[in-house]
Amino acid sequence: PVYDELAEELVHIYEPGVFEIVPCNTKGRRVEAKVVNPYACTMSRNYMRNPDLARAIQMKRVPDHFIFSVESVGRQNPAVLVAEALRTLQQKCVNLINLTREQQQAA
C-alpha cells in the first residue's frame, strides 16, 4: 500500500481516475491510494521517478487479457458483430485442428 504524501503524489502523476485517495484504518496513517479504474491506466512508468514509489509499486500486465471496443457504422449491433467474429474464429480453429490431425495421421 501507498500512504499519505506518497499516495497523494501517486494520484497526481497518473491519469485521472486510475487511483483514488481513501481514508486509512492503519494506525499512524491518514490516507492510502487505491486503484479504482485500472482500465484508465496506460501503463505509465512515471512513478519510477520517485524511489519510494518505485519500491512500493509492482506493475504487471495480464498476458491473456485484452480490452477492445467495437464500433459499427451499419445496422449491425456491435455485440452481434463480435459474436459472429468469434464464431468465425472458432470455426477456423476447428479447421486448423482437423488439418493438423490429418497431417499427423498421414505422417
Per-residue pLDDT of the chain in tens (107 residues, 90 and over written 9): 899 999 999 988 888 888 999 998 888 999 999 989 888 877 778 888 889 988 888 887 778 877 778 888 888 898 999 999 999 999 999 999 999 999 999 98
Task: State the pLDDT at residue 64.
Answer: 85
pLDDT of residue 86: 94
Cell 480490452 belongs to residue? 67
pLDDT score at 8:
92
User: What's the pLDDT at 80?
Assistant: 92
pTM, two decimals, is 0.55
- How big is the CA angle at 37 (ends 15 and 39), to the nearest 5 degrees? 80
